[in-house]
Amino acid sequence: MLRPTLKADDFLVAASEPMRAVVAAVERYADGDAPVLLCGEHGTGRELVARVLHRRGPRSACRFVAVRPTFEDAPTSPSPGGCGRDDDACERARRALRAAAGGTLLVKDVSDLSATSQRTLRRAIRDRRSTDGAETFDVQVVATADLDLDRAVDAAIVSPEFYQLFAARRIDIPPLRDRAADLPELFERWIKHYAAEVGRSRPTVSSRAFARLGAYPWPGNVAELKSIARRLVVRVTRSRLEAGDVDEVLPVVAERVPLEDLAFEDMVKSKLAGLLARIDGYPVHDLYEKVLARVERPLFDLVLAHTGGNQLKAAEILGLNRNTLRKKLSGLGIEQARKRPGREDRALDGK
């Protein structure tokens, strides 16, 4: 959700073809008249598009009211009554319509609307120019829904009559993974926004950091990108965001293969790939020693455990001179097993 204090148009990026189609549809339907339906996955920016629709139409000087399908968050307003035997959901829906008078009412996730609320909104939309003395509502209704709305209609969760009010003006908002051309600019804008909020200059973003962002599938869509931008601004105090910074905050979504199904070399390559990704953008001059230390430490630990701490046997298994092994253990800071030395150890130590 975009905070009301922000300008919605500043965050509507349409460099990609799918988003250019969305913007074109917004321009067609921004007449402040018939209902509009915004369909898409959660986090795609449906409320953002609704706010842009409101700002670009003739109702922009009046209120934009966003409510959940229960209407429990509807602003309070005078009530002339008129629900009859309808339950509280009817009155809550009417209260929301009154609060948005002259402006736009956004109803989120219409698939979750109760049958009573669907009937109330349908009558309000249908009869808003009524002259029979009934209560009317001068408001444009915009609704959001996920991609299962058609199934909800087939299952009679959403009434066909209610859906038909919106069907002619339906805008499908693409997921972030289908609008890759928009990602760099979107990310830059959110980085700029959060940097300003915390009172720092906007950090630059390396090309490899953008490559990491572009390779991620973004299951949480723009909402997840916004969250990642905020976390990076808070965590990274340097003037440049590197690929390693992005890797630190992006969730791991790669397919996991059971360890026993991987060849040893594949396991090493997998770990090294992760290591190289994390250090990308940072100065490193001793990678060879670091990698060898990472391999030697568990190897020596396991072999010493296998031999009960007997260095002579461990050196034999490893194919190393015992003095070489001792130097390596000392260099790695590996503590020796606290047990009585074996006969071979005592002999070699001159005891």
List, as one string, the DSSP characters of 142-159. EEEE-TTHHHHHHTTSS-
The burial of 54, by beta-carbon neighbours within 10 Å (0-12 exposed, 13-18 middle, 19 or more buried), is given as buried
196, 234, 246, 277 from 210: Cα distances, Å? 21, 18, 9, 13
pLDDT band, residue 337 (cuts 50/70/90): very low
Q: What pLDDT sits at residue 186?
A: 95
Q: pLDDT, tens digit, for every residue of 69-100?
A: 888 766 655 455 445 444 577 788 888 889 99
* Residues 227-244: b if buried by 16+ CB within 10 A, e if exposed: ebbbebbeebeeeebbbb
Residue 310 belongs to domain with CATH number: 1.10.10.60
All residues at 6 or more sequence positions from 349 whose CB lies less than 8 Å from its CB, including other chains: 341
Q: How far apart are CA 65 and CA 73, in angstroms?
A: 10
- CATH of residue 31's domain is 3.40.50.300
Of the ranges 105-109, 276-280, 298-302, 334-338, the best mean pLDDT one: 105-109
- The average pLDDT across 305-316 equals 88
Say yes or no: 88 and 232 in one domain.
no
The structure's pTM equals: 0.67
In a domain, 273, yes or no: no
| Widest CA span in the chain | 112
Query: What torsion do the CA atoms of 292, 294, 296, 298 make, to the nearest 10 degrees?
Result: -170
Query: By mean pLDDT, which of 22-36, 130-144, 310-324 is the weakest?
Result: 130-144
Shared domain check, 157 and 73: yes
Indicate whether 136 and 184 sit together in one domain: no
Residues 71 and 133 in one domain: yes
Query: How confident is the model at residue 37, as a pLDDT?
Result: 97
68/304 Cα distance (integer angstroms):
63
pLDDT tens string 118-174 = 988 888 888 765 544 567 888 999 999 998 898 889 988 999 999 999 999 999 999
Identify whether the C-beta of residue 177 lies closer than 8 Å to the C-beta of residue 47. no
* Domain total in the chain: 3
Instruction: Work out the mean pLDDT of the chain and round it to a whole number.
Output: 82
